[in-house]
């Protein structure tokens, strides 16, 4: 999620441009901490009832479309009628002392590491307001400084099937832009970043609010929007893991494109354009 602010070379030699605004860098690194805390505390909250449903009101006997649990000393993940053995990873795992635990997610991916629903809710709600507030502020800044229009909205020519297929083929061959082409996001980056900023993050915030009785009492349209509180919980879970998938792909692309240059640009704002290879 960067706002590209390009400038002439800062020094002789490799071309260095000012790539990320201060507001972008602050929001990026703040989100690293905020999302990690929210994810880990959310997994502990999920451990209190490791089932997901569609609809509004449900009880334990109702069929869940996703369930993580343990039976006969074996952990499992069940999605619909498909069941996968996950012993040692999900459902049944060993804690730091080597004792077996029957709980959905293991201690090393939850906050707190020992089961405590009340404390995990405090962590989740506290950082949830930071998450929602940061998103709203960044979206407003992106509209004001033109980042959304200039850097993230794909141009019509970029959405042409031939252009899209060309970018997909280049990524499949791990062929990354160099020289002047590296100054701007390619269309796949634009679509990915715009989807996260305009779809995934707002969905996470709104579905989180839908699970709050206080917010639903004030805004009853939230339950109608997502088809009930249990549906909102399912969508919240799916969106959270879609964000995890995005982050893993993002980290892989950073590693492949040159981690030192990429990370440095998100810290200092300065980015060295990769040089074109000559025969």
pLDDT at 189: 87
From the centroid of its chain, how far is CA 159? 24
Structure token digits, residue 118: 């009340």
8 Å CB contact between 272 and 16: yes
pLDDT at 20: 76
Find residue 82's DSSP bridge partners. 79
8 Å CB contact between 209 and 135: no
Lowest mean pLDDT among 76-80, 145-149, 275-279: 275-279
Q: Does the structure show a pLDDT above 50 at 10?
A: no
> What pLDDT band is residue 140 in, cutting at 50, 70 and 90?
very high
Q: Name which of 104, 70, 45, 78 is nearest 233 in CA terms.
A: 45
Q: What are phi and psi of 109, to 5 degrees?
A: -115, 10
Structure token digits, residue 153: 């909205």
8 Å CB contact between 105 and 86: no
pLDDT at 203: 96
Q: Does the structure show a pLDDT above 60 at 176?
A: yes
Q: What are phi and psi of 118, to 5 degrees?
A: -60, -45
Q: Name which of 44, 28, 20 is nearest 124 in CA terms.
A: 44
Burial 234-267 (b: 16+ CB within 10 A, else e): bbbbebbebbeeebeebeebeeeeeeebbeebbe
Averaged pLDDT, 134-156: 88
Lowest mean pLDDT among 101-115, 157-171, 214-228, 264-278: 264-278
8 Å CB contact between 209 and 233: no
pLDDT at 59: 66
Dump pLDDT digits (tens) for 230-251: 999 999 999 999 999 999 999 9
pLDDT at 277: 60
> What pLDDT band is residue 127 in, cutting at 50, 70 and 90?
very high
> What pLDDT band is residue 2 in, cutting at 50, 70 and 90?
very low
pTM of the model: 0.86
**Apex 107 CA angle, 246 and 90, nearest 5:** 65
Q: What does the radius of gyration of the chain's CA atoms come to, in whole angstroms? A: 22
Averaged pLDDT, 206-232: 92
Q: Does the structure show a pLDDT above 80 at 116?
A: yes
Mean pLDDT rounded to a whole number for the chain: 88
**C-alpha span between 235 and 205 (Å, rounded):** 11
From the centroid of its chain, how far is CA 233? 16
Dump pLDDT digits (tens) for 60-93: 667 899 999 999 899 999 999 999 999 999 999 9
pLDDT at 6: 44
């Amino acid at each position: 999620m960067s706002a590209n602010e390009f400038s002439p070379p800062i020094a002789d030699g490799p071309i260095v441009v000012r790539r990320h605004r201060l507001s972008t860098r602050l929001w990026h690194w703040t989100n690293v901490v905020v999302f990690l805390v929210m994810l880990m505390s959310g997994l502990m909250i999920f451990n209190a009832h490791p089932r997901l449903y569609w609809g509004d009101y449900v009880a334990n006997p109702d069929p869940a479309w996703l369930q993580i649990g343990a039976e006969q000393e074996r952990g499992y993940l069940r999605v619909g009628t498909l069941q996968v053995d996950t012993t040692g990873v999900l459902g049944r795992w060993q804690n730091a002392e080597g004792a077996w635990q029957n709980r959905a997610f293991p201690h090393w991916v939850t906050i707190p590491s020992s089961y405590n629903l009340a404390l995990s809710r405090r962590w989740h709600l506290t950082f949830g307001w930071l998450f929602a507030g940061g998103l709203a502020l960044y979206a407003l800044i992106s509209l004001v400084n033109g980042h959304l229009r200039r850097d993230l909205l794909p141009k019509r020519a970029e959405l042409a099937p031939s252009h899209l297929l060309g970018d997909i083929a280049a990524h499949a061959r791990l062929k990354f832009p160099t020289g002047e082409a590296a100054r701007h996001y390619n269309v796949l980056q634009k679509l990915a970043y715009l989807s996260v900023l305009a779809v995934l993050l707002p969905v996470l915030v709104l579905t989180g609010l839908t699970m709050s009785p206080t917010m639903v009492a004030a805004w009853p349209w939230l339950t109608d929007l997502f088809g009930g509180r249990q549906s909102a919980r399912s969508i919240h879970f799916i969106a959270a893991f879609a964000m995890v998938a995005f982050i893993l792909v993002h980290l892989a692309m950073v590693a492949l494109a040159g981690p030192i240059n990429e990370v440095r640009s998100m810290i200092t704002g300065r980015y060295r354009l990769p040089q074109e290879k000559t025969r």
